[in-house]
Amino acid sequence: MTRLRTLRVTGHRGAMGYMPENTLASYRRAVADGVDEVELDLRLSKDGEVVLMHDADVDRTTDGHGAVADLTLAELRRLDAGNGERVPTLGEAIDAVDVTILAEIKADDAVAALRRILTGRPDLRRRIQPMSFHARHLTPLLAEFDDLRCALLADAGSDQLVERAVGLGVAWIGVGWKGTSPELISRAHDRGLEYCLWPAPTSVEVDRARAWGADGVTTDYPANVIPALAVGDRAAAGSGPPRGLGSATRTMPGERSVRGERSAREVPDSVEERP
């Protein structure tokens, strides 16, 4: 479905404000609420399956105990991830929803596994956008796939972050509100980067992100923010193309910006990670 929006909306770990995070029910709820994308977290099980879990251990989000890396897929399957939901694999999430998937790489060993998936399924490079706080997770993927949109994540915005992202060759940055300003977003756009903000739990943050010229927001509560966003877009409907839809250098989910060769400069591996 085509949406005329000034911002794209990402469901954080699905719709984790309403449903158990990183479960198929959460992703489906986010899509039903109208998101453009769902965000999820990649880790590897003991037997090498790409599973979806934010934390390094299962203690917080399931009825089990132990590190994800120490449990086989079968052992993970036996856990209750909330409301009877099971720990899903990336493949199951791909089949469960039909929107863009923002795949945050949480563990070093998940990089090679994701690379194999994207090599074996070239069509998924139009649907999956890898993200990380760590340059080392993105560098091999960007080197391998010219048609892959990746994002560098950071808790706070800065000109240094923009330069790191440009040097790395990502398409966009996902940033917290700290350090972010309309002027910084404009400078990122001038450097060929899209700028997406989190968190956006209410229409207040959505309105601010839109006024500042951001390209997207990530929310735990898509049903709260999407109706407000639609109202704002209808109110702005006669004022010309929404920001981000009329530019030759801006892309929507699933597309890749056309830019020159990536810089060969050294890029710091990581920025401070959100909790």
DSSP letters along 144-156, please? H-TT---EEEESS
Span 69-81, average pLDDT: 98
Span 255-270, average pLDDT: 41
Q: Amino acid letter at 15?
A: A
* Residue 169 scores a pLDDT above 90: yes
* Residue 242 scores a pLDDT above 70: no
Span 84-108, average pLDDT: 98
Q: How confident is the model at residue 135 (pLDDT cuts 50, 70, 90)?
A: very high
Span 219-241, average pLDDT: 73
Quick one: pLDDT at residue 63? 98
Length of the chain, please? 275
Quick one: pLDDT at residue 230? 73
Quick one: pLDDT at residue 228? 81
pTM of the shown model: 0.85
Quick one: pLDDT at residue 267? 52
For residue range 13-36, what is the model confidence (pLDDT) as tens digits?
Answer: 999 999 999 999 999 999 999 999
Residue 19 contacts residue 26 (beta carbons within 8 Å): yes
Quick one: pLDDT at residue 268? 59
Look at residues 14, 3, 6, 177 and name the one whose alpha carbon lies nearest to residue 103: 14
Percent of the chain's residues with pLDDT above 90: 80
Q: 243 in helix, strand or coil?
A: coil
74: number of Cβ within 10 Å:
11
